């Protein structure tokens, strides 16, 4: 799918809930001359999300919406996304499930990064579950978002070997390093 038109950068929004290290990485990527994206908006469901500081530091507009009321939060999100002519939404540690209706409006334009080798270990606590079930590999996946949790079409995956003495933290750290590589790569793949 081509979202990029001419040599213009695709206006992108990133949705976060927490630490925001993927957001930080995507901002860095967006600043490369040949990057296909420009990050114009950060949306968070959590006003305490540490990642919000990366938006402030980089003078990117940020909005905090209360997703306890999904309908209302999505309505507000939609309004600003349309106003800013956002053409790509990158979920990066966003801990809310978007409604079918919202996903339909942005069909094929919402992507997510998930810390497992999908379709294995959808949902939460992926590293704990991968270690517990004695997998030899885990990894990360960038995929399109559809109405089923962590089930949309896969764009890119990277395998990471699970070591004998791995803890959730050590595995998470190694997988995050790969996330920082594949998220930009996946974006370039769908936009170029």
Q: What is the contact surface with ligand GRF in residues (CB under 6 A)?
A: 16, 18-22, 51, 92-93, 113-115, 140, 176, 179
Which of 106/180 has CB closer to ligand GRF? 180
Pick between residue 5 and residue 124 the one whose CB is nearest to ligand GRF. Answer: 124
Could you give phi then psi for residue 92, rounded to 5 degrees? -140, 90
Spatial separation of the C-alpha atoms in residues 3 and 168, rounded to whole Å: 36
State the nearest-atom distance from the C-beta of 105 to ligand GRF, in Å: 22
Q: In angstroms, rounded to a whole number, what is the distance separating the alpha carbons of residues 56 and 131?
A: 37
7 phi, psi to nearest 5 deg: -105, 20
d(CA 102, CA 84): 16
Instruction: Give the CB-nearest residue to ligand GRF.
Output: 93
Residues 62, 87, 109, 114: which is the catalytic one? Answer: 114
Q: What 3-state class would DSSP assign to 168?
A: helix
CB of residue 54 vs ligand GRF: minimum separation in angstroms? 10
Give 53 or 75: the residue with its C-beta nearer to ligand GRF. 53
Which stretches of 45-115 are assigned E, i.e. beta strand? 61-64, 88-91, 110-114
Active site residue 114: yes
Measured from the CB of residue 113, what is the shortest distance to ligand GRF in angstroms?
Answer: 4
Q: Which residues are catalytic?
A: 114
């Amino acid at each position: 799918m081509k979202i990029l038109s001419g040599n213009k950068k695709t206006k992108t929004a990133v949705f976060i809930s927490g630490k925001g290290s993927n957001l930080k990485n995507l901002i860095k990527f967006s600043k490369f001359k040949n990057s296909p994206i420009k990050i114009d908006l950060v949306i968070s469901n959590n006003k305490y999300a540490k990642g919000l500081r990366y938006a402030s530091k980089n003078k990117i507009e940020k909005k905090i919406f209360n997703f306890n009321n999904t309908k209302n939060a999505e309505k507000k999100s939609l309004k600003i996304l349309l106003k800013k002519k956002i053409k790509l939404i990158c979920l990066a540690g966003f801990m809310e499930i978007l409604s079918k209706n919202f996903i339909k409006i942005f069909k094929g334009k919402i992507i997510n990064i998930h810390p497992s080798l999908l379709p294995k270990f959808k949902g939460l606590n992926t590293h704990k579950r991968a270690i517990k079930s004695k997998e030899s590999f885990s990894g990360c996946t960038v995929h399109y978002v559809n109405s089923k949790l962590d089930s949309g079409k896969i764009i890119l995956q990277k395998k990471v070997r699970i070591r004998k003495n791995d803890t959730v933290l050590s595995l998470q750290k190694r997988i995050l390093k790969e996330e920082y590589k594949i998220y930009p790569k996946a974006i370039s793949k769908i936009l170029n």
